[in-house]
Structure 1
Amino acid sequence: MKKSLILMLASLIALSLAAGCKDKTKAPETAETKVPAAAEQSAQGQSGTVTETMNSGGYTYVLVDTGSEKIWAAAPELQVKVGDAVVIPAGMPMKDYHSKTLDRTFDVVYFVDSIMVGGEQALGGEAKMPEGHPVVPGTEPAVKIEGIEKVAGGKTVAEVFGGKADLSGKEVSVRGQVVKFSPEIMGKNWIHLQDGSGAEGTNDLTVTTTAMVKVGDTVVVTGPVITDKDFGYGYKYEVIIEDAKVVVE
């Protein structure tokens, strides 16, 4: 019986050692198990250089080298060429997307409403996204601005633009409606805020924040006014409120 117990213990130790060695052995990565880095990012803004581009079916497809990976993106047809610096806004990835017009299947492709090329926003035309594609941030219906009252002790959008010289570096509060929201571009969420004041060029205030909002929300944003801000890749702003606190009303 003693001999049987010794044999049993020896077997258990051998099995334990074998299991430990198995756990430390990394399974080989195959084409079936490997997930492209782009597919893991559900709504990431990306910037980089175009290495390949093509037009088809009313869309422009671009392969963008971000420096760490290459990703495919597509937007309603626009002017772009290999070597251009571009910014791809946040979008939902479509895995295994097959383009009938190109007769090509992409592992992952981001369909977005616009692409910034060489510092200029290349807005999409009348082309529609593929059937079944999720709503792209920033493509929501236009918001009607009405009944927005200036927050107590704060400024209107037009007043921020008009008083930018005196307000630069100072904290202000502004109440308005979110007319566009683009999450996670260059590590920030971007709000376009309007309150009905101002003319073309002074009626839309850009705000960066970590807060999440949606188009149509009435919010009060509070943060420092920054003038002549250049983020690079064409993101230049005459006036912007950065790292704002946002309260949804």
Structure 2
Amino acid sequence: MIRSFIKPFTLACTLTVFTIFFPPVITISAEMPGTESISGKIVEAMNAAGYTYVNLSTANGPLWVALPQTALKVGDEISCKPGMEMKDFYSNSFNRTFASIIFSEGVIEGEPGNPHASALVPAATSQEDSFEAAVESEKQAPSATQIQPQLASAGSMGAIAPFVEITVEKAEGENAFTVGDLFDKAEELNGQTIRVRGKVVKYNANIMGKNWLHIQDGTGDPMKNTHDLVITTSQEIGSPSVLTLEGKLVADKDFGAGYSYDVIIENGSIVE
């Protein structure tokens, strides 16, 4: 009688153990890190949550890679350290889902872009750390509709503000343009005084003797970083607001040390 009682009890315990430990295996969504570096030409580059997202044209086709924020630009040929692959990764900052993206520790030393690596994100100690840090940053990042003005560096790619869902009426005047227009006509307007109206989405005070504004009006393409316009001014800006400003448009402005702009408005002044 004792033996017949113990056997069923032991079997029940064994089944309970399998029931507890089996399900977590099914929920894993990240692939193990690769062992080979990732090389290719940048066809898209965006910054968010302390990370740079690059779409690389590789020998095996297009591939998205996220790495600690680095000054990179379209056309750069880079090699990235291997990393963890995440499938169907949703980015809060860009409000989009990446079918597949590699979270890399960064550009391999000596490659283009590496000398300008941002100090905003400390280097990860392992591929798993890099992956977890990136995911956590995205979780904490505000969505595109929640962005608030903030202090940041005046660097080009490193300081582009995420796209804000707004509609701002174009300024009046013969020299008035939308933000998107200024990027589209940068070469034509280079050196000319222009007028633009937009909402201040980022304000950087007293950098290189100037105050730096980032304005948006709802035009431009966030995938090409033509939605966010930088304006330097000696005037102080109070609470974030919609402003009309005039200033000289400068195309392809390079301050050195990785700080460059496709379009920047210098010596801006508020006209209303």
- TM-score normalised by the chain length of structure 1: 0.44
Q: Which entry has the higher C-alpha Rg, 1 or 2?
A: 1
Higher helix content, 1 or 2 = 2
- TM-score normalised by the chain length of structure 2: 0.41
